[in-house]
Structure 1
Amino acid sequence: MKKLLIVCMLMTIGFGASAQFTLGPRVAITSTNLDIRENVADVKSGDAEFGFQYGAFARVKVPIVGLYVQPELLFSKTESTVTTNTSTVDLSFNRVDVPVMIGGKLGPLRINAGPSFSFLTSAESDVAGTVTDIKDNYSDTTVGFQAGIGVDFLKFVIDLKYEGSLSERFGESITAGGATFSTDERPSQLLLAVGFKLF
């Protein structure tokens, strides 16, 4: 995992010498729906909930091949709700996400896709005001993918992307509200992101 991140960073630095470079802040709204591993009696996930991301992006255009590489460093927060037979369980996850998008232009649109590396920093469950640390139930690192379309308008960078996972995402069983279930801390989600080119 670390070797792959280093390779991506070196690619970005190497391309920068002969390509146009862009850097700026980035924020995103996410729509997430929690997954439950198996059917458990009287346990179900709630409706999709909104989360957010903030951080920075860089873009390196490679004129020779007509593509660009866009690494991002984002701090993400997602929340989900699980309803059991006796109560409602609120789950929250904080992560550092590092997507590395590779894309090109098709008319005014950009089309891009690439791997997304995720590092879990905290995970908590809240049952009737009692907060429990559940980070140890999940993997510290997961690998996913992102794919989507985007457009540049003046200095704004706008993207609509879908994110899925390429690695095991489910955690160990959680007991809350009188029920035991396994959840996914990195579910599939839609992202609407806006960046601003500083230069």
Structure 2
Amino acid sequence: MKRLIFATAFLFFVSLTFAQGDFFDLGLKAGMNVSKLSIDADDYNDETVNNVNFGAFARLNLGRIYLQPEAYYSNKGGTIEDVGMSTINEFDLKTLDIPVLLGAKIINKEAFNLRVMAGPMFSYATDKDYEGDTFSSDNIKDSFMGWQYGAGIDFLMFTFDVRVESSSNIITEVPDFSDSKSKSFILSLGIRLM
């Protein structure tokens, strides 16, 4: 994990030396997550919650192909109801997310781009809050990996992305929750500074 953080930071800073022309973009972004924690069990119902994300991105443009590492703070969570016992379990998970996305520009114009992207995402929990009777926040992993995929547009200096994120097995040591997944639908608006 330390190597991944170092590699991402290295990529951000080394890329600054190539910040000429259209090869490199650096920017800020913020948006909204619609997330839920789901499990594969008949006795439970899961519901989504709305949260926020904000952070920074870099983009290395290689013609129509690009590499886009990001680092952003995100709130995730969800509500799971135990139908048989009428108990509600609420999760609020704050994470530092580091996606490393490989993308392609379907439309590549001077002032407008239409893009698709996909890649791994690494999450590190900075705060774990849980309300319920089934287990404790200690059962939520401190770090986990997932995937993101989606599409985006660039217009002048603005970016808009729509993504789906899925992370598996974020809860441990609780039999009914051993196949838990965090799923998010992410909307973000960004501005390219360079």
Rounded Cα–Cα distance in structure 1 between residues aligned with 2:94 and 2:86 = 27
Rounded Cα–Cα distance in structure 2 between residues aligned with 1:194 and 1:124 = 27
Is the 8 Å Cα contact of residues 39 and 180 (structure 2) preserved in structure 1?
no
Match of 1:114 in 2: 119
Deviation at 1:22, TM superposition (A): 1.8
| TM-score, with length taken from structure 2 | 0.80
Q: 1:29 to 1:183 in 2, by over 3 A?
A: farther
Match of 1:177 in 2: none
Rounded Cα–Cα distance in structure 1 between residues aligned with 2:156 and 2:180 = 36
Is the 8 Å Cα contact of residues 65 and 104 (structure 2) preserved in structure 1?
yes
Identity %: 28
| Aligned counterparts, 1:22-171, within 5 A | 22-40=25-43, 43-46=44-47, 48-63=48-63, 66-84=64-82, 85-107=85-107, 108-127=113-132, 134-165=136-167, 168-171=169-172
> Given residue 154 of structure 2, which amino acid in structure 1 is its aligned partner?
D
| Secondary structure in 1 matching 2:37 | coil
Is the 8 Å Cα contact of residues 138 and 185 (structure 1) preserved in structure 2?
no
Rounded Cα–Cα distance in structure 2 between residues aligned with 1:185 and 1:120 = 16
| Secondary structure in 1 matching 2:193 | coil
Q: How many residues align?
A: 184
Rounded Cα–Cα distance in structure 1 between residues aligned with 2:118 and 2:142 = 23
Deviation at 1:123, TM superposition (A): 1.7
Rounded Cα–Cα distance in structure 1 between residues aligned with 2:67 and 2:191 = 17
Deviation at 1:17, TM superposition (A): 4.4
RMSD between superposed Cα atoms in Å = 2.7
Is the 8 Å Cα contact of residues 105 and 116 (structure 2) preserved in structure 1?
yes
| Secondary structure in 2 matching 1:33 | strand
5+ unaligned residues in a row in structure 1: which ranges? Answer: 174-179
5+ unaligned residues in a row in structure 2: which ranges? Answer: 108-112
Is the 8 Å Cα contact of residues 149 and 163 (structure 2) preserved in structure 1?
yes
